[in-house]
Structure 1
C-alpha cells in the first residue's frame, strides 16, 4: 500500500513538472529556429575543422591561396579613387608648369591639358571595379540640368567604357598618367630633324662611365712642372728660331 502511494506521488510530481510552463530560452532552443541555428553552427564548425586539416596536409596549396587572397585584399584597399587622381593630376601639372614650353614633352603636356580641361568641365567620372579603378569621361557635367544629362536612359552605357576610358588605377598608381609623364622634360620635336640613328640614345656602358669618371678626376689634378716645361719647349724653340 505504501509503495502504491509512493508511485502515485512520483507520478503526480512528474505530471506537475511537465505541466509547468517552460522558460522562453528553453522554448527558443527547442523550437525550429533553435534547431536551425544549432545545425548551422555545427556545419560551420565542421567546415573550419576540415579547412584546418586540409591546410595542415597541403601547406603549399594553402600558402598559394593565402598569397592570392592577401594580394587581392591589398589591391582592393590600395586602389586609388577620384580624389587621388585629382591630386596626381595637380602634381603632374605643377611639374610641367615649372618647365618651358620649348623643353616639356608634347605628349605629356597634351595629355595633362586634356585631363585638366575635362576636370574643369566636370566631365570626369570614376568607377570602382573591385581590384582596379577606372576613370572615364562623360558628355555633360553632373550638375547640368539638361534633359540629356539627367535622363538615366541616356547615360553612358557600360559597353562604351573602353572607348571613353582615360586611365586605370591599380596598386595605388594611375598607370596611363604615369606612362604619359615618362621623360616629360624631353621635347621630341627638337630632335625630329636629326637622322633616325641619332633620335634615340642608348644608356652608356660601364666602360664608358668609368672612362668619363677617370677623365673627370684627372682634369681636376694640378699640373706638374715637367708637363709645364714640355708645354713651354715648343714655344721657346719658336722664339729662338
Structure 2
C-alpha cells in the first residue's frame, strides 16, 4: 500500500501532462483557469514530495510535529462550551443542596452562590480560545444602557482582565469549578 501512495504524485503528474486543451479554448479565461489549477496541483505535489523527503531525513522531528498537531486537535475537539459550564454548575448546585449545613464547605457554597448571582445579573460571559475556553465577569450587563457602559474612560483596563476570569475550561473540564467544589461536603 505504501508503494501505491508513493506512486500517486507521479501518476497524477503524467495525467496532467497528457491532457491537451482544445484549440477553441486557447487564450480564453477557461484556459487561464485550467492553468491556475494545473499550477496549483503541481505546487501541492511538490510540497508533498518535499514533505516525504523531510520525514525520511528526520523522523523524530516529524513525530514531534505530528504529536503536537494531534494534541492541538484533541484539545480543540474537547474544548468545553458555556452549556457544559452551566450543566456542571447546575449538577454541583443540586448536589450541594442535598448536603446538611453542618457538613457543607462554605467556600464551595460561596463560590456557587457567586456564580448564580453573576448569571442572575447577566454579567458572566463565555469566550472560546480554540483549544481552551474562559468564563469571565463584567461590571455591567450587556443590555445596560448607562453612561458607564458607553464611556471609554471608565471602561475596565486590559490589566484587570485576569482578575475577572472566573473559570478556565480545558480538556473537557472547567478547572476552577472542579477545584473549588471537589470537597463541597467536607466542612473545614
How do 1:157-236 residues align onto structure 2 when only pairs under 5 Å count? 157-188=157-188
| Residues 46/69 of structure 1: CA separation in 2 closer, same or farther (3 Å cut) | same
- Given the superposition, is the C-alpha separation of residues 156 and 84 from structure 1 closer, same or farther in structure 2, using an over 3 Å criterion? farther
Alpha-carbon separation, structure 2, partners of 1:152 and 1:66: 48
Distance in 2 (alpha carbons) for counterparts of 1:25 and 1:66: 44
Other structure's SS at 1:49 match: helix
Aligned twin of 2:137: 137
- TM-superposed CA distance for 1:55, in Å, is 1.8
Which has the higher mean CA deviation after the structures are superposed, 35-44 or 132-141?
35-44
TM-score by length of 1: 0.62
**Equivalent residue, structure 2, for 1:23:** 24
Counterparts of 1:86 and 1:45 in 2: how far apart (Å)? 47
Aligned length: 166
Whole-Å Cα distance in 2 between the matches of residues 145 and 25 of structure 1?
63
Deviation at 1:64, TM superposition (A): 1.6
- Residue 16 of structure 2 is matched in structure 1 by none
Task: Write the distance in 2 (CA, Å) between the matches of 1:174 and 1:157.
Answer: 25
TM-score (norm 2): 0.78
Q: Mapping of 1:1-241 within 5 angstroms? A: 22-24=23-25, 27-28=28-29, 30-31=31-32, 34-149=34-149, 151=150, 153=152, 157-188=157-188
CA contact (8 A) 2:25 2:31 kept: no
Q: Which has the larger radius of gyration?
A: 1
Q: Identify unmatched segments of 5+ residues in structure 1.
A: 1-20, 189-241
Q: Give the whole-Å Cα distance in 2 for the aligned partners of 1:100 and 1:117.
A: 22
Residue 131 (structure 1) shift = 1.2
**Using the alignment, how far apart are the partners of 2:184 and 2:128 within structure 1?**
29
TM-superposed CA distance for 1:37, in Å, is: 4.1
Counterparts of 2:144 and 2:49, CA distance in 1: 57
After TM superposition, the structure 1 stretch with the greater mean CA deviation from structure 2, 175-184 or 21-30, is: 21-30
8 A contact 2:127–2:134 mirrored in 1:
yes
Aligned partners of 1:139, 1:108: CA distance in 2, in Å? 23
Structure 1 distance, partners of 2:90, 2:156, is: 26
Distance in 2 separating the partners of 1:147 and 1:25: 65
Residue deviations 1:155-210, cap 9 Å, x none? 5554332011111000000101101012211111xxxxxxxxxxxxxxxxxxxxxx
Aligned counterpart, 2:7: none
Change (3 A) 1:161 1:133: same
